[in-house]
Structure 1
Amino acid sequence: MLHAQERPARDNGHNRHQHYSVGLALNEREIEEAQRLRYRVFAEELGARIRSRVAGVDADFYDPHCQHLIVRDESDAGTGKIVGTYRILTPEAATKVGSFYTENEFDLTRLQHLRPGMVEIGRSCIHPDYRSGAVIALLWGKLAEFMLKREYRYLIGCASIGMADGGHNAANLFVQLIDSHIAPLEYRVFPRDRLPFERLVTGHAAEVPPLLKGYLRAGAWICGDPAWDPDFNTADLPLLLPMERISPRYARHFMRG
């Protein structure tokens, strides 16, 4: 791995913010480093069952077709390591591969007419030592720039809620959010393995994961009932964010360029 000062300047919108740098991965080595971070968080920290050919690497069928957004810590102490990542699947790449990853969990038939302008984001992952908010802000800012430059109009993806408590928080959260954040009927999708949230609701106030809270504040809709992902042991909420719905506060923060 080259040191920060030895890496070639990125020609894909890479820029620096304080001691961080953010941009799209340029080669397989950078992608694998991001995948190792994903494995550390999803498998080692959260207990997901990761099936991979390479030990310590979270890689799947979709990864070669995705663009991988990465944030590095360029401080002396950080030594240029990747501390945050997102993967992006464009509509053109989804057509080439045959589907979006989200379609493994949800029937997206009602979103068919949006596909030419619809980008899927996923595998959001931040190193446990860097979860103060700065890294996710950099990822979102670069993602917004990616969308605007290429004139894509919709973001889709899943917000995952851990089910270590048996799914009660996920069920309570869905019930708590559904009235104010449910998508219009024409944008509803349907889980292939539906979480039976009605049987899990306890009525207690739910804890909202920070990433989901950010999506909803930005203007995202929840497009239907949660799906259960047995490999990651999460309840996954389908989200759709039309770029035109991004709140003015988020637009000022992430799209000032």
Structure 2
Amino acid sequence: MIRLKKGRYVARQAGGLADIEAAKRLRARCFGLVSDADVFDDRCKHILIHRIADDALVCCFRMLPLTGATISHSYSAQYYELTALEAFDGKMVEMGRFCVDPAAADPDILRVAWGAMTAYVDDEGVELLFGCSSFSGTETADYLDAFAMLKARHLAPKRWLPRVKAPKVFKYAARLRRKPDAKKAMLRMPPLLRTYLMMGGWVSDHAVVDDKMNTLHVFTGVEIGSIPPARKKLLRAVIG
């Protein structure tokens, strides 16, 4: 059972239905939905991050344990053809529905969240962490430098590369011919995706246009064994 206290925040695994319902309410508020629930909620472990001072829920995400043999049962598999990853030999976990209350903007929240994920990965012997990393809105023109940067530096290895499955996609790796402006690219990159990339993460060669969630998202994976030692040290310092 995950429980991590650091500074002003505490991360813990949901203890029951009330916790999961609170996470769903926060997700709906962050994603601009009337409600946010799906069939994956019952199969996932939910992590909640509270501010200690007032016990306010400021962040949540869920984790679904998988293997290559069961990756087709993941949330991401609804949008990406993941047959290549069926050959991955090791435990996986899909991290999804990550959100932070906009009224509680604080970089320490993301640090504690990654600390909780690191604790889970270490405890369970996970070798691949993956999920969908989302850009706000569906206008690709807003993120051309970011996508050009992903194409230039962060595409998935060919042996793991997800293929197109969703009906609406932006094939940025095939279409973009621009040299990315690094500063603009990083400014437009979602914070969660930036963290994945700093750990050596890689992405699909296309983005899914998700009109329901009003996002563009890319499949994102991090092979735990490939995380740079200095980055591992920083992550484990949080759970110290």
TM-score range normalised by the length of the shorter chain: 0.7 to 0.9
Seen in structure 2, the aligned counterparts of structure 1 residues 196 and 185 have a Cα distance that, compared at 3 Å, is closer
* Maintained 8 Å contact 1:187/1:223: no
Structure 1 position 113, deviation (Å) = 1.7
Give ranges in structure 2 of 5+ residues lacking alignment.
none
Residues 115-194 of structure 1 aligned to structure 2 (within 5 Å): 116-163=90-137, 166-193=139-166, 194=169
* Maintained 8 Å contact 1:163/1:170: no
Q: Residues 96-135 of structure 1: CA distance to partner in whole angstroms, max 9, x if unpaired?
A: x961000011000000022751110011100112222111
Identical amino acids, percent of aligned pairs? 25
CA–CA distance in structure 1, aligned partners of residues 111 and 26 of structure 2: 18
Q: Residues 128-149 of structure 1: CA distance to partner in whole angstroms, max 9, x if unpaired?
A: 1222211111111111110111
* Maintained 8 Å contact 2:3/2:13: yes
3-state SS in 1 of match to 2:15: coil
3-state SS in 2 of match to 1:124: strand
Counterpart AA for 1:238? F
Count of equivalent residues: 229
* Maintained 8 Å contact 1:168/1:202: no
Is residue 211 of structure 2 the alignment partner of residue 230 of structure 1? Answer: yes
Counterpart AA for 1:15? L
Counterpart AA for 2:207? P
CA–CA distance in structure 2, aligned partners of residues 199 and 155 of structure 1: 27
User: Aligned match of 2:62 in 84, 87, 100?
Assistant: 87
* Maintained 8 Å contact 1:162/1:170: no
Counterpart AA for 2:148? V
Seen in structure 2, the aligned counterparts of structure 1 residues 187 and 32 have a Cα distance that, compared at 3 Å, is same
Counterpart AA for 1:13? I
Larger Rg: 1
3-state SS in 2 of match to 1:235: strand
TM-score between both structures, scaled by the size of structure 1: 0.81
TM-score between both structures, scaled by the size of structure 2: 0.87
- Report the structure, 1 or 2, having the larger strand content: 2
RMSD: 2.4
**Other-structure match for 1:3:** none
